[in-house]
Structure 1
Amino acid sequence: MANILDVSTEDNLQYQFFPISSGSVQFKVRTANDAHVALTMGPQESDPMYEVMIGGWGNTKSVIRKNKTKPDKVEIETPNIVNGGEFRGFWVRWDGGVVSAGREGEAIPFISWTDPEPFPVGFVGVCTGWGATGSWKIEEGAEFDTPDKLEYRFGPVAAGSLELNYRGPHNCHVCLTSGPAEVDPMYEIILGGWENTQSVIRYCRQKPDKVTVPTPGLMNANEFRRFIIEWKCGRLAVRDGTTGQVIMEWVDPAPFPVTHFGVRTGYGARGNWRILHFARAGAASQQLPPPPSAPTAAALFSAPPGYPSSAPVGGGLVWVDAYAGNVPPGAVVGGQDCSGEPLYVARAPHEGATLPGKLVGSHGCAYVPWGGQEHGKPEYQVLVGGPVNWVPTSGSNIPPGSFPGGETEDGEPLFVGRVNHEGSITTGKVQQSHGVCYISFGGQELGFPEYEVLTS
């Protein structure tokens, strides 16, 4: 678990701030009314800011407010939700603009709002007021139990991945759905089933299972086991959260939009869960040892006269630091995912190189191609400004004015390119000596001899 922070708040509506590294915070608070939680970019009250007010108006209702302005974004009746004589547990989560709060042990929030213009949250503040003092115990992450009962408990997802820790003897069941209920279509992932001997991927509760793999001893009743579940363009993958190794995967030929997850245990098993910030799931792949570098492709074309091997940076383009899926104003749109989500031009360091790639905001990270694999990066730079043009080319032909977006570990310039692949327009890196544009897609690094290159 994360470190626990004990805080006392006076009856003065002055927030006490502390930094946060994930997209959720869990806490217990003892107060008669008005437990206020602020989410900000810095350690002070300044716009932009979300406020989640629990047990306000004499402990009768709760609201979500942005930038201290009224009307409140959402308001619900919550009589006696907090108590001045005992600690009550809650969690607050923010993912891809979805701000929500729930009770400890409950996956479904009691209040939620989607911000059309989200901002990166770096700090959490707590305070009490309106006649109330408070005692707080604050920690990151949310933990809850599931009984020996085959009923899913649901929560929202705002990204293409879910990171979880499970402690139980067997039968860790996770479903992915388009709503907070067991409705078709639905993916089911059963980890450590059949008395902790095998794991499966199931579609719409139908047999035969889409994937079955032996996983003896996968679960442990005495320790948490970490897993990452990813879904993207129909590819469903389950990874070991410690090593990043793929346990099983399946490609759905007719994928559906996933908006919720559910968890349960059964068949004689009780489980304890920690559901972590969804956007952090891609970090596991960074722990893998680096694979061999991608093979060199023969150049299909020689550079014609007048085409330089590198080009100076031009126009009004700059690289801006960002993280956790945040998109700076003026970001250059490079294409779109197969789901229709816009993809932005981004880059990130990896193994001594600076690699152009793509930012997928809903995934909470940028992706860069290297060594035959797709690598998720929660911290990255986004290309901002313009104007830009995309020029069709092929092989090693780098047009004049092409924008250098990075360099290999050996110092070779890399340019920003994009290709049309499986219903997506995906940005990546152009390596002139290889004569291809590499993109990251479905966990892999793919090379294309025909592509478009960004010019300024």
Structure 2
Amino acid sequence: MYTLTFTIVLGHLLGSTFALEPTNKFEATWGCKQYNTNHGYDHGHPYFATSRFRNIQVTRENVTMLRMGVLGNNDGHVRLAPTGFPYDETEMNEIVLSGWGNSKTVVRRYSRTSPKNRSVELKLKEQSSLGMLSTFEPFMFTMAVNHTDGFVQLTRDGDVHPFLEFRDANISTNYIGFCNWDVPLVFFYDCPLEIDRRVCEGIAFS
């Protein structure tokens, strides 16, 4: 009897502890806006003005913080541009999250003249990311852009260290866009920063 009682109490305590972790992985998208696409790379995808975002944060050190995510098997493209219509030989950045069959991540800078045409491409970073994206669980992360020196860090939810770092002194976060390659993708953007979301769930921070 005592063993049974202890087991029930222990189970209750553990259940209370682990209740802080989302049992539904999509809870991580709470408060986000959503963009769905199956239009492909060359489509005229929209660019969203970050000045209208509710959850963007700019620190005193001039670091812009943006939390977002992607759901899908591969090739989550995130585009950063100085204007909402970057087609006048506009210099911009593109982050390809786990492209090439969900195997590697690439960051590049180029000039764009239309939704289909770009030139003067420069690869800023390339690294392995085998299996990083999934059709069953959104990959949520925070992008931190230091506008003083152009240093950019992408950190996955729950992690301490960034999974991607690069530098571009000319990077702009005025507008952000998303696109897919060969499979449908769902993007989540303007998400509450992870610490804000956890505070809303009742976790106290010292």
Q: TM-score, normalised by structure 1?
A: 0.30
Where 1:72 maps in the other structure, the secondary structure is: strand
Aligned to 2:176: 124
1:112 matched to 2:153? The reply is: no
1:4 matched to 2:56? The reply is: no
Displacement of 1:92: 2.1
Q: Given the superposition, is the C-alpha separation of residues 86 and 3 from structure 1 closer, same or farther in structure 2, using an over 3 Å criterion?
A: closer
Structure 2: gaps (5+ residues) = 1-29, 57-63, 111-117
Deviates more, 1:58-67 or 1:44-53: 44-53
1:142 matched to 2:193? The reply is: yes
Q: Which amino acid is 1:114 matched to?
A: R
Bigger Rg, structure 1 or 2: 1
Residue of structure 2 aligned with 1:52, choices 85, 90, 95: 95
Where 2:194 maps in the other structure, the secondary structure is: strand
Aligned pairs for 1:56-455 (under 5 A) are 56-67=99-110, 69-96=120-147, 97-115=150-168, 117-129=169-181, 131-140=182-191, 142-144=193-195, 167=199, 222=202, 271=205
Q: State the superposition RMSD in angstroms.
A: 3.0
Where 2:123 maps in the other structure, the secondary structure is: coil
Where 2:107 maps in the other structure, the secondary structure is: strand
Q: Which amino acid is 1:51 matched to?
A: E
State whether residues 16 and 127 of structure 1, in contact with CA within 8 Å, keep that contact through their aligned partners in structure 2.
no
State the Cα deviation string for residues 113-170 of structure 1 (Å, max 9, x = none): 112x3244211101111x21111221245315xxxxxxxxxxxxxxxxxxx99849xx
Percent identity of paired positions between Structure 1 and Structure 2: 20
Aligned to 1:19: 49
Q: Give 1 or 2: higher strand fraction.
A: 1
Displacement of 1:79: 0.4
Q: Distance in 2 between matches of 1:93 and 1:45?
A: 22
State the Cα deviation string for residues 5-26 of structure 1 (Å, max 9, x = none): 1110114113332111342321
Q: Distance in 2 between matches of 1:33 and 1:167?
A: 31
Structure 1: gaps (5+ residues) = 145-163, 169-220, 224-269, 273-456
Displacement of 1:54: 0.3
Q: How many residues align?
A: 153
Q: Given the superposition, is the C-alpha separation of residues 16 and 3 from structure 1 closer, same or farther in structure 2, using an over 3 Å criterion?
A: farther
Where 1:57 maps in the other structure, the secondary structure is: helix
Q: Distance in 1 between matches of 2:162 and 2:33?
A: 23
Q: Give 1 or 2: higher helix fraction.
A: 2
Q: Distance in 2 between matches of 1:222 and 1:64?
A: 37
State the Cα deviation string for residues 364-421 of structure 1 (Å, max 9, x = none): xxxxxxxxxxxxxxxxxxxxxxxxxxxxxxxxxxxxxxxxxxxxxxxxxxxxxxxxxx
Q: Given the superposition, is the C-alpha separation of residues 139 and 45 from structure 1 closer, same or farther in structure 2, using an over 3 Å criterion?
A: same
Q: Distance in 2 between matches of 1:166 and 1:87?
A: 17
Displacement of 1:28: 2.5
Q: Distance in 2 between matches of 1:44 and 1:108?
A: 34
State the Cα deviation string for residues 100-123 of structure 1 (Å, max 9, x = none): 2221222422111112x3244211
